[in-house]
Structure 1
């Protein structure tokens, strides 16, 4: 019994230390890119590491692999990320314009834009997990996350619940920001996404490409 308890605490300690290291790598590489250019490649590199963890690859040199992925995908990921941000800015601006008018058309337009904004938000989450799991063209990296969002209602709910719980936890314990702010959401989104990607790939006419 004591061996089992000791093993549990040892494993838990390893996971806590592992997640803390990855979160620090994420924060430091965001700063390394001057924040504006660092946030997207740092986040994608974090998703790449959490993907390895979920596939059972826990003993790889984390810093070397993280920094290499960050450096090799720096400009491509920034291109994808900023295209998504521009699309998001258009949605926000359109929603703002609609709120300035009244009537049934304005109400229907607002509802449509809210639905589109939710789709956009979930596709933004899938972008990171999709990027590290599949070897695709720049165009497909932009389009496929939207398609996956449309086909993954259950997974969208799971992601929303998980991120809400993480946000609630961090809100009430702000000290976790330095240790889990990025890694907990990325781990959860990657876990849900991996299961969904595997389901899609088993379908006869899969919409996704080959894995990396």
Structure 2
């Protein structure tokens, strides 16, 4: 199928796969008791997305399960490391913001800036780990290098998440199908394009 109908068919097929991935993410998260399933489910989602982007023939359910099991330890380790630091920065922001002096306000907004940078690095981490499968330490270092070294990418990810979140807010019927898979697809798409450009520049 070619032309407009062919493109529409590709779009609707991807939308159906994203809806399935969203469901699998929820099932995997609940199966892990939320605490131990949340981050492996996110890692599995990105791994399946990577294979779909490469136009591989994928049995989505089986691939998702295998990826969640494979990434269980690494995903939970990185996920809770980021979560702890993000929580500390969140508390710091509100603590400093409760004071009225200028110095405390400066510290509060500095904490907020660090929070945003760390959150963006966390978003970059999942597609990065899937693409390169390095050690956890290298993945963490590279996620920060990319986040800080390519502010345009970081800004694009944040803007995209805000726009997608706004769309979900005004069209809540989208949430059961694309609440997690939608933003993940966008993040994986823009990160993969940037990774390819970085690889090309390094080869040149």
TM-score calculated relative to the size of structure 2: 0.91
Alignment partners' CA distance in 1, 2:118 and 2:3? 45
| Shift of residue 94, structure 1, vs aligned partner | 1.4
Deviations 1:97-146 (A, max 9, x none): 21232322112212221211110111111111111111211212222211
1:67 aligns with 2:65: yes
Name segments (4+ residues, structure 1) moved above 6 Å.
none
Of 132, 137, 140, which aligns to 1:139? 137
Alignment partners' CA distance in 2, 1:113 and 1:51? 33
8 Å contact 2:41–2:68 — kept in the other structure?
Answer: yes
| Shift of residue 13, structure 1, vs aligned partner | 3.0
Say what the alpha-carbon RMSD is for the aligned residues.
1.9
8 Å contact 2:46–2:126 — kept in the other structure?
Answer: yes
8 Å contact 2:30–2:37 — kept in the other structure?
Answer: yes
Partner of 1:149: 147
| Shift of residue 61, structure 1, vs aligned partner | 1.0
More deviation, 182-191/159-168: 159-168
Partner of 1:209: none
Alignment partners' CA distance in 1, 2:2 and 2:128? 40
Alignment partners' CA distance in 1, 2:6 and 2:151? 38
- 1:1-212 to 2 correspondence within 5 Å? 4-57=3-56, 59-204=57-202
- The answer for unaligned runs of 5 or more in structure 1 is 206-212
- The answer for unaligned runs of 5 or more in structure 2 is none
Alignment partners' CA distance in 1, 2:197 and 2:135? 22
Residue-pair matches, total: 203
| Shift of residue 42, structure 1, vs aligned partner | 0.3
Alignment partners' CA distance in 1, 2:150 and 2:112? 18
Structure 1 residues 72 and 115: CA distance shift in structure 2, 3 A: same
SS at match of 1:202: helix
Structure 1 residues 103 and 141: CA distance shift in structure 2, 3 A: same
